Each structure stands twice: as structure tokens, then as C-alpha cells.
Chain A
Amino acid sequence: MNFLTIFARNLKQGPQTEAFPLGPAFTPERLRGRIEFNADHCEGCRICERVCPANAIRFAKTPDGMTFDCWHNTCVFCGNCEFYCPTDAIHQTNDWDLSHVNADKFDMVEHGLIPNQKCVECGATALNTAPVIKNAKPPLSAEEYTELRARCPKCRAKYLKNRKVPA
């Protein structure tokens, strides 16, 4: 009579087959998928370009600033870039559906631009990167952060050095 129990159980549980592509697919929260880049948080250290085993990430200097490109067709989803990024500018989403027709092959790229800016203090042209403030004590306030960000690297160092530290 064992087969009757199995039959009843199968009727109750339904099929084990995933609904995809006829329905939504189960996606784990922390699945390592497509790369996402946030230029606002980027420090411009280019460590992601260096640690990428497949050379999917490229930085290039252009007249507008520094561009970031991640080619999804070369990326192997290893997560090195996210692991080494000091400012969480690069993230792996859990988006896995990257299949595309061959005509779109060269559109599968994550673009980002770190624009140029004029330093408010000395007027030099420099990249508008996120400042390195990990070791700044006490932590910077929001106004200090915007002031620091508007400067070139040399003036940033001067600003941090001359910052008044409350006793």
C-alpha cells in the first residue's frame, strides 16, 4: 500500500519542477550575478581592475574624466572586485538573466563615469572621486565631506591636515 501514500503525497505537494520560464524563478538573495557600479562612491584606486582575473574591468582617461567599463560577457562573477573595493562602489547584484541575441553582444557593458571638476581652492582640474576618509579622526561631518570632495588631491591633504580637531 506504500504506493498509495506516495501518490497522496505527490498530489498534495505538486510537481517539484521550477516554474521558470513559465513563471518566476527562484533566486537566492546573495547570488553572485551581474556587476553594478556606483560612480559616486568610487575612490578611483583602480584595485578592481587589478584584481579582476578575466580583465573584464577597464578604466580609461577621457577629456570628461575617468570612465569605468565592466564587460558582462567576460565577467566570471568571482566577486573579487566587490571584496577588494574600499568604498563599496562596486556591487554584485543577484540578476542572473544575461542571455541576449548576438546583435546585442557589445551592449552588455556596465558604464560609469567619474567626472572632472575644478578644485575650489587652487582651480586645478582633478577627478571628482570619493575622498579617502577611512582614517580621518574624528569622522567628517556631511558639510566637511562636500567641502573636501570639491578639492583636488593636494588640497584635500592640506584640508585634512589643517582641520580643526575639537579637543
Chain B
Amino acid sequence: MGLIPDFKKIATRSPWIYRINAGSCNGCDVEMATTALIPRYDIERLGCQYCGSPKHADIVLISGPLTVRVKDAVLRMYEEIPDPKVTVAVGVCPISGGIFRESYAVLAPIDQYIPIDVNVPGCPPRPQAIIAGVAKAIEIWRERL
């Protein structure tokens, strides 16, 4: 019985990050890749790592205003991520629609379809802002676990 708390302590150190592009212009995706991949903004200090499969993910970063065409794919992918998951909306597009707001091709804001936990506004946000958002997401994720 004593193993489970120990295991929890180890497991809460390293959330894995997954990225969903919901029709983004690629600006925020470049910033997210920058945040993870170059040593200057090393996100692995927080224990995070990008993973290639939604089934391994703990924290989801969503960029883009959720276009009509990509909606089903995004929702299907989101459901594949195991609970407990924390969702971070990166950029102004998923939060409010940004400059694409009120377009017929866009379903923003995204929290009508997917429960969002942390918002990181910006067009695109700075890598440091994304790291701050991920740090907030990790705190929420630790509470849920």
C-alpha cells in the first residue's frame, strides 16, 4: 500500500506534452517548438517532454482557432488523451478567435468544445510566456493526479 504514494511522487515530476494544431497559422507552433527544442528556453528543466502520441500525453497544448474542417479530428484526438489531462490554449486564436473571430470557417472560442484550463494569449506568445503557462498547467495537473 505504501508503494502508491511513492509512485505518485515520482510520476508527478514529469508530465509529457502533446501538441494539437487546430488550424493554426503555424506561428504559435513555431514558438512551441522553440520552447521545447532549443537549449535557450529548455522546458525539460520542468520535467516536461514532447511526445508523439496522444495516448502518452498529460498536458495538451492547443493552438489555432478550431477550423470547421479540423474540428472532428481535434475532438477525436483530444478524447484519446488519458485522464487526468490539462489543456493549455496557446495564442489568442483558441481563446477568442483573434483576427479570425466571427469567420464562417472558424469555431472559436475553443472552450465551447474542449474544457480549457490555462490560457496563454499572444500572437504568438513569447516562449517565456508559454513556459509560464506550462508551469501553471503543471500545478493544476499535480492537484488532479
Contacts and interface: CB of A to CB of B under 8 A. Distances in A.
Given A54-B98, A77-B122, A17 B136 contact: no
17 contacts: A16-B39, A17-B39, A20-B41, A31-B126, A54-B98, A73-B119, A73-B121, A74-B92, A96-B125, A98-B125, A98-B129, A99-B133, A99-B136, A101-B136, A102-B117, A105-B119, A108-B121
A71 B117 contact: no
Contacts of B111: 102, 105
Contact of B122 (A21, A98, A105): A98
B116 interface: yes
A78 B27 CA distance: 14
Contacts of A98: 120-122, 125, 129
B97 A17 contact: no
Interface string B78-113: 000000000001001001111101000000000100
Q: Secondary structure of the A side of the interface?
A: loop
Contacts of B119: 73, 99-102, 105, 108
B129 A71 contact: no
Interface in A134-160: none
Q: Which 3 A-B pairs have the closest CB atoms?
A: A76-B123, A99-B133, A99-B120
Interface residues of A, number: 29
Interface string B123-138: 1011011111101100
B140 A101 contact: yes
A4 B42 CA distance: 25
A102 B122 CA distance: 15
Given A72-B121, A75-B123, A96-B125, 17 more contacts: A17-B45, A18-B41, A18-B128, A20-B131, A21-B131, A21-B135, A54-B101, A74-B95, A74-B98, A75-B121, A98-B125, A99-B130, A101-B118, A101-B119, A101-B140, A102-B116, A105-B95
B92 A73 contact: yes
A101 B95 CA distance: 11
B101 A17 contact: no
Nearest to B100: A54
B40 interface: yes
Contacts of B128: 18, 20-21, 25, 96-97
A106 B126 CA distance: 21
Contacts of A100: 118-119, 136
A100 B98 CA distance: 17
A25 B35 CA distance: 14
Given A16-B39, A96-B128, A99-B120, A76 B133 contact: no
Which of B92, B97, B140 has the most CB atoms of chain A within a 10 A radius of its CB? Answer: B92
A6 interface: no
Contacts of A54: 92, 98-99, 101, 123
